[in-house]
Structure 1
Amino acid sequence: MHIYINRLSARERSQLLERRFTHEELAELHAALLRGQRARRRTLRILAVAVPLGCLALIGLMVSRAGLTPAVLIAGVAVLLMVALALAAAWFAAIGLYARQFNDAIDEGYPELLGRLHL
């Protein structure tokens, strides 16, 4: 099994650092990457609502069957914490790391655009 992490490739990074793009090409690249980032954010927002709600429904079923015991409460809290950690890791792997790498490469390669073309 392989977990995909969205990263800036070494080739892309070197092209940005070596200023191989004109400002117009860079603006087009930024727009395309921004569309992809927005789509990932939308998907993660949906997951950030749907997955915890599904877990809460399952915890509710568990409470209705076993009763509200300390073990059920601890298990419910543990499940919700694991879901929160998994969602945070998914955000970092899908959005955060790539955005940080792209922003750093833009700032270093095109200092005159500092902060203007960030994802």
Structure 2
Amino acid sequence: MISGRVGALRLLPWSGPEGKPCYLDTDGTGYVSRLADDIEAVQLAMCQELLDHATDMIPDRQVTAAQLRFLAARMAEALRDVQRIAESRGARLPVPAYDESASGV
């Protein structure tokens, strides 16, 4: 929680000009929130396509070292995207209320 309000700031799926994270103060219903949702969906779909491609490439003995390095670089990019999406979505999860009676103390 960055601003004191649960889910108030959303980590966006792109970086600022200097590579720093971009945040949006939002209730999750505006244009930029919908744009971020769309970009995240594209990133996740691209990640799935890359995984499918890797599944086909890795057992192929004809694949060159250069092709595997290229694949590894794209997979690292996709993993960074997925990590950012997970961080953003995790930060927006509601914090459950603590129930002392459930703790058994």
Q: What's the TM-score once normalised by structure 1's chain length? A: 0.38
Q: Which structure's residues are more often helix, by fraction?
A: 1
| Structure with bigger RCO (C-alpha 8 Å, 6+ apart) | 1
Which of the two has higher C-alpha Rg? 1
Q: Which structure's residues are more often strand, by fraction?
A: 2
